[in-house]
Amino acid sequence: MLASLLDIVFPPVCPLCEEGLMDGTLCADCRGGILSKKIKGPICAVCGIPFIAYGDVPETHKGRLCGGCITEKTPFKEARSAFAYEGLVLEAVHRFKYGGRVALAGYLGRLASEAAEFPARPHVVVPVPLHKDRLRKRGFNQSLLLAREVAKRLRAPVDYVNLKRVRKTDPQINLRSREREENIKGAFAVRDDKAFSDKNVLLVDDVFTTGATIRECAKALKYAGAEVYVLTLARTLIA
């Protein structure tokens, strides 16, 4: 009754366009705008980037590696992303991450989980951690909220304790690729190696940009004996 009364006094609106909302988390137009950015194959077999952002892709590219994955070995087995980080996807992530629209977590997490197609079933889902100072300032870890939704679908436990951010870093958003790598180097460590030893770990984050943060997390997990797979809600198509 209270919820119904609140809907009358404060009618629900779409958190992206602020139009009146009849049902669901987003309006139909915004849902359609997000789904239109879904990443489709063929993609790099390791990092998951599409070979061609738009248009038809030759069948011969299926199962191949991109230039970056050919020249540099990654600490994770496979990475997959649900959407291109542009348009309404970018808007949704910004509203969720920086605007405090945590109600989007359930919807975005379910969308992310649809891209979780890996050859090995994860034993545990691990979110990319925030430094305690940034967590205190933001009030929540967006990667943890997404990881919980993904874990529900995969029926796997979430471990948000044993991968820690041990060094405070500058925000990555305004840094170039090489600067990101230097900024994040050595920022993560595993508290208890036994937690991940001989386990398939699914590392979850909101956005794969240059991959610097993901690689540093994966290195720490791999050093602890894990086989690491990566899932992000979105990724930039050009790092």
CATH 3.40.50.2020 matches 26-235: yes
Q: From start to end of the chain, where are the E strands?
A: 78-84, 124-127, 163-165, 188-190, 200-208, 227-235
Mean pLDDT of 67-84: 95
Q: CA 149, CA 174: separation in Å to the nearest integer?
A: 29
Contact 150, 109 (CB under 8 A): yes
Q: How many CA atoms does the CB half-sphere of 235 hold within 13 Å?
A: 28
Mean pLDDT of 50-58: 60
Helix (H/G/I), strand (E/B), else coil: 226: coil
pLDDT tens profile 23-48:
678 999 999 999 999 998 789 999 99
Cα distances (angstroms) measured from residue 156 to each of 32, 126, 128, 152, 198? 29, 10, 16, 7, 16
**So what's the pLDDT on residue 79?**
97
> Helix, strand, coil % (nearest 5) of the chain?
40, 15, 45
Q: Which of 58-62, 75-79, 194-198 has the lowest mean pLDDT?
A: 58-62
For the chain, domain boundaries: 26-235
**So what's the pLDDT on residue 236?**
93
pLDDT tens profile 90-143:
999 999 999 989 989 999 999 999 999 999 999 999 999 998 988 999 999 999
The token pair at 87 is: 């348009």
Residues whose CB falls within 8 Å of the CB of residue 150, separated by 6 or more in sequence, listed in order = 109, 112, 113, 116, 125, 202, 204, 231
Contact 93, 82 (CB under 8 A): no
**So what's the pLDDT on residue 119?**
92
The token pair at 179 is: 């600067």
**So what's the pLDDT on residue 9?**
42
